[in-house]
Structure 1
Amino acid sequence: LFSFTSCFVVRSKSLVMGENRGPNPDKTLFPLQQEQSLKSGWLKKRRNIMKNWQQRWFVLRGQELRYYKDKEESKMQGCISLQGFQVLKVNPQPEEPNKYLFEIIPGDKVTVNHETFLLMANSHHEMEDWVRAIHKVIWAPFGGAVFGQRLEDAVSLETRHAPLVVEQCVDFIRENGLQEEGLFRLPGQATLVKELQDTFDSGGKPTFDKSTDVHTVASLLKLYLRELPEPVIPFSRYQDFLRCLWTDTSTATMP
């Protein structure tokens, strides 16, 4: 409630009172603005009354999606509090195939703001990135947003030695894939990998059965490791591992 109210207050004061609080008042008055941006970029937002499109600079921070007139974020035009919302891709109409649309709408629970937001990206790739980023923010408090999460955070939240997705993939591969030719080299079914990723990111716990393609599970595990913010071998220990390799190599070549 506070996050939505604070956004509304900033919007109201800037429009009604015409206050001039310097080059970036949002950053000086509200600590939330100082949070690291999870994603930012240009999107078009459809106005609810006029139904025309306005280009705005969108910034995803914390549980909020804010939008501005310019890239410098000098004046906030509005704020979408994502708690209780869901994000959906919108299928383009046949007469408008090049519109890459997605929508932020209220979820099953009653929210403070019942408004829906229709947004348009510049490309299909950009639309997919925005939907994925917003989806992770929405589901993070419910045990989702698994992919792209810091490894130590995932272990802490799940109270286990390794994230569930890693345990399930490793157990399945150990039982069904050790004799499989091309393991971790041949790609799995891209559509199924995406579906499994979305399920884990939504807080679900999918299971694999005997009919599941082992290359798909291996691809899912590789995707998880690839999206870690920091590799399994952390940057701070990278040189240490290299020194171990050099030491082992030099020892092996000694007469």
Structure 2
Amino acid sequence: SSPTARSKSMVMGEASRGSCQPTSPSLQEGVLKAGWLKKQRSIMKNWQLRWFVLRADHLYFYKDEEETKPQGCISLKGSQVNELTANPEEPGRHLFEIVPAGEKDKAAMSHESFLLMANSQSDMDDWVKAIRRVIWAPFGGGIFGQRLEDTIQYERKFGPRLAPLLVEQCVDFIREQGLDEEGLFRMPGQANLVKELQEAFDCGDKPQFDSNTDVHTVASLLKLYLRELPEPVVPFFWLFLHPC
């Protein structure tokens, strides 16, 4: 179906109030991300602007930033988050959905899906990545934007490791296939494939590269991972002491 039909048929069901955890004394405690999003109401299908707060494995929404009691929340455990394809006829509609656990194998138009709208493409990307980290972190995913120490700590459960598997895999492939490649780390890779590989690693998969894989794509994936680290490989403090 078209993105328009998909977005019109998918409505934002009201999240269960009873499943919300009590709010903490400090509204900022444990907050992973917060910001304004629009959610679609289940009956009227109109959009409501709400303040969303991502905390632990729940996404809470409030009437405004000052509210202490959430209007509702969405449990993210076992859920799936998807960006919806942009419709050229409706610019400015940056839509993504959260499919609750137990609904992923049902019809794509399930009324249990939660439809949300961000203000911009970059804002939507940030929300999707943050939510995806929460969903997949227990399975070793969500590594883009995750602290290096957290990724290493998880992967050490499966054996000694000095760097994330993604880094080792990219570096090994570049050493084997790309040392004689002109413009390495300068020429961009295939954007769609970089995004697919990023999403695969973020979902806890470990995709393999073969002889048909473009080395510039692998280099771009490695650069993207390093760029999204909360703290750079060369720490801020070291850069302060030794400015370029």
For residues 91 and 216 of structure 1, do their structure 2 counterparts lie closer, same or farther at Cα, with a shift above 3 Å needed?
Answer: closer
**Equivalent position to 1:85, from 79, 83, 94:** 79
Q: Tell me, in whole angstroms, the C-alpha distance in 2 between the residues paired with 1:214 and 1:224.
A: 15
Identity within the alignment, %: 64
Question: Which structure is higher in RCO with an 8 Å CA cutoff and minimum separation 6?
Answer: 2
Q: Is the 8 A contact 1:121 1:127 kept in 2?
A: yes
RMSD over equivalenced CA pairs, Å:
2.6
| Secondary structure class of the residue paired with 1:118 | strand
Match of 1:52 in 2: 46
Bigger Rg over Cα: 1
Match of 2:155 in 1: 158
* The 10-residue stretch of structure 1 (220-229 or 82-91) with the greater mean CA deviation from structure 2: 82-91
Residues 1:61 and 2:55 aligned together: yes
Q: Deviations over 1:52-84 (max 9, x none)?
A: 221101111221111111123444211111102
Q: Is the 8 A contact 1:146 1:200 kept in 2?
A: yes
Q: Tell me, in whole angstroms, the C-alpha distance in 1 between the residues paired with 2:197 and 2:150.
A: 21
Would you tell me which structure has more helix in proportion to its own residues? 1
For residues 8 and 238 of structure 1, do their structure 2 counterparts lie closer, same or farther at Cα, with a shift above 3 Å needed?
Answer: closer
Deviation at 1:164, TM superposition (A): 0.5
Deviation at 1:38, TM superposition (A): 2.2
Q: Tell me, in whole angstroms, the C-alpha distance in 2 between the residues paired with 1:77 and 1:227.
A: 32
Deviation at 1:237, TM superposition (A): 3.5
Q: Tell me, in whole angstroms, the C-alpha distance in 2 between the residues paired with 1:34 and 1:8.
A: 17
Query: What one-letter code is carried by the residue in structure 1 that aligns with 2:85?
Result: N
Match of 1:228 in 2: 229
Q: Deviations over 1:9-48 (max 9, x none)?
A: 75xxxxxxxxxxxxxxx332xx7x5434322221111111
Q: Tell me, in whole angstroms, the C-alpha distance in 2 between the residues paired with 1:74 and 1:199.
A: 36
Aligned pairs for 1:128-207 (under 5 A) are: 128-159=125-156, 160-207=161-208
Match of 2:11 in 1: none
Q: Tell me, in whole angstroms, the C-alpha distance in 1 between the residues paired with 2:40 and 2:17.
A: 22
Deviation at 1:170, TM superposition (A): 0.4
Q: Tell me, in whole angstroms, the C-alpha distance in 2 between the residues paired with 1:44 and 1:141.
A: 28
Q: Is the 8 A contact 2:17 2:71 kept in 1?
A: no
Q: Tell me, in whole angstroms, the C-alpha distance in 1 between the residues paired with 2:124 and 2:101.
A: 20
Q: Tell me, in whole angstroms, the C-alpha distance in 1 between the residues paired with 2:147 and 2:176.
A: 27
Query: What one-letter code is carried by the residue in structure 2 that aligns with 1:69?
Result: K
| Secondary structure class of the residue paired with 1:44 | strand
Q: Is the 8 A contact 1:84 1:109 kept in 2?
A: no
Unaligned runs of 5+ in 2: 1-15, 105-110
Equivalent pairs, count: 219
* The 10-residue stretch of structure 1 (84-93 or 195-204) with the greater mean CA deviation from structure 2: 84-93
Q: Is the 8 A contact 1:89 1:101 kept in 2?
A: yes
Q: Is the 8 A contact 2:17 2:72 kept in 1?
A: no
Q: Tell me, in whole angstroms, the C-alpha distance in 2 between the residues paired with 1:93 and 1:220.
A: 27
